[in-house]
Amino acid sequence: MSEEYTKSAKCSGDCDSCGEDCAPAYDPTKHTITLTMDDNREVECAVLNIFQAREQKYIVLLPLDGSSDGEAYLFRFSQEEGGNPQLDNIESPDEYQFAAQVYDNLMTELQEAAPRS
């Protein structure tokens, strides 16, 4: 898979020329990543979360076209120089299970901490 990163409507995507250091102020609710699937179909995904577990960062993506029936994608995540994302498949079933469980725990904690109406 390859990916195209879109920061926001205000950002040209050229971090080197804009002079802003936007990586620390990363807001996943305003970001999408377009994945190119194995069959060359492109799927735009919302970035749901980026989290760290042990020494590795992970990213959770939700396809915006409804093609996944609400299922999110989970990848290893890092940033290259210039802030461009690098997504890698999680090859080990044990690592995938671990990362998915950490994410589920994070979401449970957020739901429990959310104010009730």
> What pLDDT is stored for residue 111 in this prediction?
85
Rounded CA-CA distance 15/81 in Å is 10
Which residues on neighbouring strands pair with residue 65, listed in sequence order?
A: none
Cα 102 to the center of its chain, rounded Å: 15
> What pLDDT is stored for residue 81 in this prediction?
85
Over residues 3-13, the pLDDT tens digits come to: 444 433 444 44
Tell me the pTM.
Answer: 0.69
- Provide mean pLDDT across the span 87-109: 95
56 falls in which pLDDT band (50, 70, 90)? very high
Range of the domain at 53: 2-113
For 112, how many CA atoms within 13 A lie in the half-sphere containing its CB? 6
Over residues 31-41, the pLDDT tens digits come to: 888 899 889 99
> What pLDDT is stored for residue 60 in this prediction?
94
| Structural domain count of the chain | 1
- Provide mean pLDDT across the span 57-79: 89
